[in-house]
Amino acid sequence: SQTIHQWPATLVQPVGSPLSLECTVEGTSNPNLYWYRQAAGRGLQLLFYSVGIGQISSEVPQNLSASRPQDRQFILSSKKLLLSDSGFYLCAWSVALASRGAFFGQGTRLTVV
């Protein structure tokens, strides 16, 4: 069976510090991978989308970047965090045209102070 691991669950970081969130998927090959952010009381905003190693699409201009060094590994990074980067970050995977959409990791609650 497929599983998705995302860590850490919570993170408190000072403004200007770097960020690295990691997500790995097990039990499937060549998944589509996603990074979403959810601000308090808001919906999920698609940040990055990847269909393969090294293939990253950025949805919105921002202070963040993503990388996919391996087929089932997706990393969200920032060189210098801003207060506005606070939120609930969710990694997800899917296979193209699957009838169940995307499966989500447990999420990371990031607070920038």
Partner 1 sequence: GQNIDQPTEMTATEGAIVQINCTYQTSGFNGLFWYQQHAGEAPTFLSYNVLDGLEEKGRFSSFLSRSKGYSYLLLKELQMKDSASYLCAVRVYRGSTLGRLYFGRGTQLTVWP
Q: In what order do the strands lie in the sheet with 19-26?
A: 3-7, 19-26, 73-78, 65-70
Neighbours of 60 (CB within 10 A): 10
> From residue 19 to residue 58, what is the string marking binding to partner 1 with x (rule CB under 8 A)?
-------------x-x-x-----xxxxx--x-x-----x-
Please, what is the minimum distance in Å from the beta carbon of residue 79 to partner 1? 26
12 lies in the binding site for partner 1 (CB under 8 A): no
Chain centre distance of CA 57? 12
**Tokens found for residue 53:** 């190693």
14 lies in the binding site for partner 1 (CB under 8 A): no
The correct pick among 58, 65, 67, 94 for binding partner 1 (CB under 8 A) is 94
**Beta strand pairing call for 108-112 and 87-94:** antiparallel
Which spans of this chain sit near partner 1 (rule: CB under 8 A)?
Answer: 32, 34, 36, 42-46, 49, 51, 57, 90, 92, 94-97, 99-107, 109
